[in-house]
DNA sequence: TCTGGCTCAGAACATACGTTCACTAAGGAG
DNA sequence: CTCCTTAGTGAACGTATGTTCTGAGCCAGA
């Protein structure tokens, strides 16, 4: 973690600011730094902070107490975070549709887990994006296995062939399938040669979202 | 995001602290809150902060300027972050092995991208963990497609059947395959019925790591 | 009606904290 | 040698900022 162009004192200050911020969730004062680094005067701290600021290591807000921000540590999750936290809201059946507790099942319950996905890696991720853990192997030919997590983006319109979270209103059941429009009915097609498609009327179907990503743990 | 048990003013204060902290990376002062929320006195802010603290919404460090920390907002990436940042270091051939520029190709180059993965979701993720983008479809039967990203964990020992990043020392080539020991030679097995395995001597093989996860973007 | 708790206003106080200034000391260039 | 830059010392200054005190209005319950 050593950086060129900084003398030991400046590195020490930089590290202290990072640790302090991590532990207490707010930056240190100049006098905090002074004491921690055994510096005799606040002016020395100020002097070295100027150097760190010119070097682009930190950003300072003048005349503001604790107005220090450490920049650009790429291993520090707090720095430059552009990702979005995506909750894993529950399970989705990739085989037979299964009933779920309530219609806003995925709105109320606590997430099973939470993922942090980088912006831009999977199209646009926003606050509506969520994830579901897949039960069953009906989408195996689409490379989605039992236990995988699918990232779901609520969308207004879907195209034929999209993998969607399909909600059957009458049956109050949800399932993960590919969607194809066929006249006034809709075919929900599994991606498994041993399974048959389901046909539903457009009225009965509500598309909760479209799968924009898949995440699998192989351990 | 509304929370029960809080009057509008307290909710407004809580939201302001969150937004302020997010934008400036340090918490606001009592007077910052006062102005932003149109409160006539600092004592009112202090009063309401006490209530928020008793309710467990924030933590305060007494006598410390900006000593406020918002607790338990699961959408705030900074709160309770336990994930690790994983760099996508380059490409890996899942088909024919391909030569790579240098032996420490994946150590020196800039990452193509960066992922933030939650601790615990994929076994143990540490600072050595990295990711590679897959070229080719030879692992298609293992549900790894062209363009997928595999999460790789350097390990000391591998078991037969593990999906590994295999480095052929003589050929200076890397490939993604399943590994099986067969006497004094090793079989590198694609997961694609149209492709044949590769046999190498144990001396010639260096296992760079084991695949512990797969991430796919379907948009 | 009185009382007590909740919420707030305004002001004053003490100290925390960033800034600045004058001065010192060690090197390097001319 | 002087002149300049880098690095540090110690103190003072002024504002920023958390704390506290007095008192008000409101409302439910005795």
CB contact under 8 A, A121 and B144: no
Q: Which residue did the predictor score with more confidence, B125 or A218?
A: A218
Q: Which residue did the predictor score with more confidence, B110 or A207?
A: A207
Contact between residue B117 and residue B206 where contact means Cβ atoms under 8 Å apart: no
Q: Which residue did the predictor score with more confidence, B101 or A150?
A: A150
Those residues with Cβ within 8 angstroms of residue A125's Cβ, 6 or more apart along the chain or in another chain: A83, A84, A86, A117, A119, A151, A153, A212
- Provide ipTM, 2 decimals: 0.58
Condensed to tens digits (0 to 9), the pLDDT of residues B46-75 reads 999 988 988 888 888 888 999 998 886 544
Split at pLDDT 50, 70, 90, the class of B163 is very high
Closest residue in A to B150 (Cα–Cα): A216
Contact between residue B131 and residue B86 where contact means Cβ atoms under 8 Å apart: yes
Domain B8-70 belongs in CATH node 1.10.10.10: yes
Those residues with Cβ within 8 angstroms of residue B152's Cβ, 6 or more apart along the chain or in another chain: B129, B130, B131, B132, B165, B208, B209, B210, B211, B212
B40 beta carbon < 7 A from strand C? yes
Query: Straight-line distance from CA B46 to C1' D19, in Å?
Result: 9
Could you state, in order of their start, the residue ranges of all structural domains in chain A? 8-70, 84-215
Contact between residue A166 and residue A176 where contact means Cβ atoms under 8 Å apart: yes
pLDDT at B121 over 70: no
Nearest nt to the CA of B34 via C1' is D17
Q: What per-residue confidence (pLDDT) applies to A108?
A: 43
CB contact under 8 A, B77 and A77: yes
Could you report the average pLDDT of every consecutive run of 10 residues in chain A (219 residues)?
66 89 90 91 92 86 89 48 64 63 45 59 66 86 88 85 87 87 90 90 88 83
A63 beta carbon < 7 A from strand C? yes
Contact between residue B57 and residue B71 where contact means Cβ atoms under 8 Å apart: yes
**CATH numeric code, A84-215:** 2.10.109.10
Condensed to tens digits (0 to 9), the pLDDT of residues A129-152 reads 788 888 888 888 888 999 888 888
Q: What per-residue confidence (pLDDT) applies to B57?
A: 85
User: What is the topology classification, in CATH, of domain B85-215?
Assistant: Umud Fragment, subunit A (2.10.109)
Q: Give the number of A-B residue pairs with CB atoms closer than 8 Å.
A: 131
Nucleotides on strand D lying under 7 Å from protein C-beta? 7-12, 15-22
Residue numbers in B near A213 (CB within 8 A): 215-219
Average pLDDT, chain B: 79
Q: Of these residues, A43, A138, A157, A193, which one is catalytic?
A: A138
Q: What per-residue confidence (pLDDT) applies to A217?
A: 81
A119 touches chain B (CB under 8 A): no
Q: What per-residue confidence (pLDDT) applies to A173?
A: 79
Nucleotides on strand C lying under 7 Å from protein C-beta? 7-12, 16-22
Q: Report the C-alpha gap between B216 and A163 in whole angstroms.
A: 13
Structure tokens at B66: 């900006």
Asked about A138 being catalytic, the answer comes back as yes
A165 touches chain B (CB under 8 A): no
Q: What per-residue confidence (pLDDT) applies to B94?
A: 67
Split at pLDDT 50, 70, 90, the class of B84 is low
CA-wise closest residue to B206 among B161, B182, B162, B175:
B175
Closest residue in A to B164 (Cα–Cα): A218
């Amino acid at each position: 973690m050593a950086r060129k162009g900084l003398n030991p004192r400046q590195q020490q200050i930089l590290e202290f600011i990072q640790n302090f911020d991590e532990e207490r969730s707010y930056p240190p004062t100049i006098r905090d730094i002074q004491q921690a680094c055994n510096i005799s005067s606040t002016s020395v701290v100020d002097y070295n902070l100027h150097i760190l600021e010119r070097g682009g290591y930190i950003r300072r807000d003048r005349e503001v107490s604790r107005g220090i921000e450490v920049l650009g540590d790429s291993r520090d999750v707090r720095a430059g975070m552009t990702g979005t936290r995506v909750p894993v809201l529950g399970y989705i059946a990739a085989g037979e549709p299964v009933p779920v507790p309530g219609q806003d099942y995925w709105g109320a319950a606590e997430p099973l887990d939470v993922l942090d996905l980088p912006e831009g890696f999977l199209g646009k991720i926003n606050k509506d994006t969520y994830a579901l853990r897949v039960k069953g192997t009906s989408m195996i030919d689409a490379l989605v296995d039992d236990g995988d997590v699918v990232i779901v983006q609520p969308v207004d319109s879907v195209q034929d062939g999209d993998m969607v979270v399909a909600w059957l209103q009458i049956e109050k059941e949800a399932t993960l399938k590919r969607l194809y429009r066929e006249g006034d009915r809709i075919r929900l097609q599994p991606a498994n040669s041993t399974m048959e498609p389901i046909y539903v009327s457009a009225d009965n179907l509500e598309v909760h979202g479209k799968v924009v990503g898949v995440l699998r743990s192989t351990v």
